[in-house]
Amino acid sequence: MKTKKDHHHSVQLEQGLNQILLTLLYYLIISILQYLLEVHMASPLVSATNLLFSILSSILCTSLLSYSIIFGPWETVHYSLSKLSEHTQASTRSFFESKVFVSNETDMGRVFLIPTSAGIWSICLDISESQMKELKEQFEDWIEPKCLNTLSLKMNPKDTTLRSMKEQRRIRMNNLIISCSTTSIIILVSCLIIFPIGLFEKQAPSIFIVSVLYTLSGVFAIFALGIWEMSRNHCGSSLLGSRLLSSGSDLPCISGTFYRGKGFYAGWTGVDLGAEQELRRKLAEVSIRLERAEYLNSARYNDLRNLYNAYKGFLTTDSNLLKNALLAKANWTFDLSLPSIVQSLPHSAGRPEAFIPAYKIAKNPRTRVSMILGIPTVKRDHQSYLMSTLKSVISNLSESEIKDCLIVVFIAETDKVFIKSVSDEIMGGFSAQIDEGLVEIWRGDFYVQLEDDILTKPGFLTAMKDFALDKTAAKEPWFVIDFCQLGFIGKMFKSSQLHILIQFFLMFYNDKPVDWLLENVIQTKVCKLDQDYRKCKKEKASLWLHYKPSLFQHIGTHSSLKGKVQKLKDKQFGKVPLFVPHKNPPATIETNIKHYKHYSLSRAYRGETFFWGLVPQKGDKIEFILDPPIELDSLRFVSGNAEHPSDRFVSAIVDMLPAVQKDRKSDLPFGYQNLATFDSNGVAEGKILPSEGPIHKVRITVLASSDNWAILSEIDFEVRKEKG
């Protein structure tokens, strides 16, 4: 591996910016001197001298300005053509991880000069030795203890929580555009300072300087726009795999590829916000884990100390103690009785098993997750929203988020029949997630309290974690972060501080709801009795942070409290999608189920709204007549929606009638074939074999009368695509 590198990592941001500012200041001083000379010495000779002086000074200043921005310390890299094509397909970071440098002279590609500093950049961090030790296990390129070169940052490849490389590249390209645009703006501001002098005093040298500055500003503006345009274009990898420059027509595409991935990707990119932000979040995560470890260590120390004292007292007996007590006729009775958990939870007296979950269904408990989502549920008189809540939470988690979180469902009831029915429903709808250990009780870095009647937004878990880590990195002493404005929904706590909340709730849960008690906890922590109201409010705001827009929405109407109707909505969440539209083939629709208001079946089939039918009865039918018949690949019906999850088809089947009747046995009359059955979640879907041919009719038949109305929020007739 042959490389020629000239590292100048000691160059800092201040040096580059100071050079630019000094150059612009030099422009201003020259203009002021010219103005004074013009005012006090108005001879032709002086004017000619001033003009020559202005031209030379402008050239010098422009050169200094360009040099300070463009010609920072550069790195000369010889790369391998074959390895470049091979490795950059897997990871754009591979180019700067010594995997694509030349191995022999014949395989040497063109030399790229990469500005490794351009006046920017190493960052030093104020961290403890324990944090340093953990960081060294995840980061490799440390310039010196506690300092990191942000341009050659190497993350742990096993870390699945980092942003994708595509997003990292986009951030770096944006930073490059910001750098060029900022430079252009700085130059234009200097023009605004100098131009009035030349305009009002009619000084040609000053106006000439302004024209030079305008030209330079335009160059940087065009450069920024060019990078932005090239970053939008896509070039095939073959350009880099076999050749670099083959024809003039390839030049724009190759230049764009070079800017995006091979040169400026880790070079002159402005302040590296992406890498620095990731590092700050990593440090915050380490800080959270250390805080939790210290709390657990303190708790374990106290447990061990109490155990040791009890054991020591059991073994050590003072032989004279009994004799002295008898002689002194001392009364060894203890009137001191310390409060314990039994006072708050009297049902636990003499029953240590009361603190162990009575019924657990998870098979593979998880470890090393950073986020715990708690969802309590109780029996409701009218309808349950639990399954729709779980569906919304799980469907809006990415694969990496699923691996980093745990969902705990707490059934707060003693009715064994109800508990069994709820657990069976969860196991039926989310068996795969339970087998993976997604639902279990375990320790994490953060705990988030949810409810059983909510909706979530896509990516909510990453948004919560990033916000919490950013605030921790900024050393804000938060106690709770509010991701929803309603009740106790979306409240995040550090696991290491949960004991404070638990102790307070145990004392007063019979007096107030816990969302009211949360306000009292924070007020007790920071507000004095005689403290000014404004100061108290400010102190409370520092512990109770709010995230906007909201990530959760309350969808329940019937409260868990008997007889109470709860129609509260978080206005910051936005609109909740109540149906999924599809482009379906032309069809005639017939049904004997009456629809509510304008929520008709024909409009739902066209994707304009959802179908809302009044209380389906046994034997009711919905029939879709395809004329002409058409070959279908699959069918999908989804009943219920976010606001009315219980209004769904459960005891219903989906049949189809092929246009061409074949010799086959059928359990249904008139040649219908059974395709699917609505499951417990109100979903029916099935694939149609090509051998069935064109389908003439699709029918939904209700097998049992329902107590609720019925909603079809998704109707999808997937037409089979022709091959070739």
Average predicted confidence (pLDDT) for the chain = 67
- Are 78 and 109 spatial neighbours (Cβ–Cβ below 8 Å)? yes
The pLDDT score that the predictor gives to residue 176 is 59
Looking at residue 17, its amino acid is L
Among 89-103, 348-362, 468-482, 543-557, the least confident range? 89-103
Strands lying side by side in the sheet with 695-702: 588-591, 621-630, 695-702, 652-658, 673-677
Per-residue model confidence as pLDDT tens digits over 604-615: 999 999 999 998
CB atoms within 10 A of CB 125: 15
Q: pLDDT-derived band of residue 511, with 50, 70 and 90 as boundaries?
A: confident
Q: pLDDT-derived band of residue 221, with 50, 70 and 90 as boundaries?
A: low
User: Does residue 82 have a pLDDT over 80?
Assistant: no
Please count the residues of the chain.
Answer: 724
Closest by CA position to 671, among listed 661, 681, 683, 686: 661
Per-residue model confidence as pLDDT tens digits over 46-61: 455 555 555 566 556 5
Q: pLDDT-derived band of residue 91, with 50, 70 and 90 as boundaries?
A: very low
519-544 as b/e, with b when 16 or more CB fall inside 10 Å? eebbeeebbeeeeeeeeeeebbeebb
Cα 463 to Cα 273, 390, 458, distances in angstroms: 17, 19, 9
CB atoms within 10 A of CB 353: 7
- The H or E element containing residue 305 is helix 273-315
* Interval 92-120 mean pLDDT: 36
The pLDDT score that the predictor gives to residue 445 is 78
DSSP for 19-56, written as a single string? HHHHHHHHHHHHHHHHHHHHHH---HHHHHHHHHHHHH
576-592 as b/e, with b when 16 or more CB fall inside 10 Å? eeebebeebbebebebe
The pLDDT score that the predictor gives to residue 265 is 33
Per-residue model confidence as pLDDT tens digits over 387-398: 888 888 888 888
Q: pLDDT-derived band of residue 698, with 50, 70 and 90 as boundaries?
A: very high
- Are 583 and 558 spatial neighbours (Cβ–Cβ below 8 Å)? no
Q: Rounded distance, CA 570 to CA 554, Å?
A: 7
- pTM of the shown model: 0.49
pLDDT top residue among 14 and 176: 176
Closest by CA position to 422, among listed 359, 484, 497: 359
User: Locate tokens 């000619």: which residue?
Assistant: 48
Q: Rounded distance, CA 34 to CA 54, Å?
A: 8
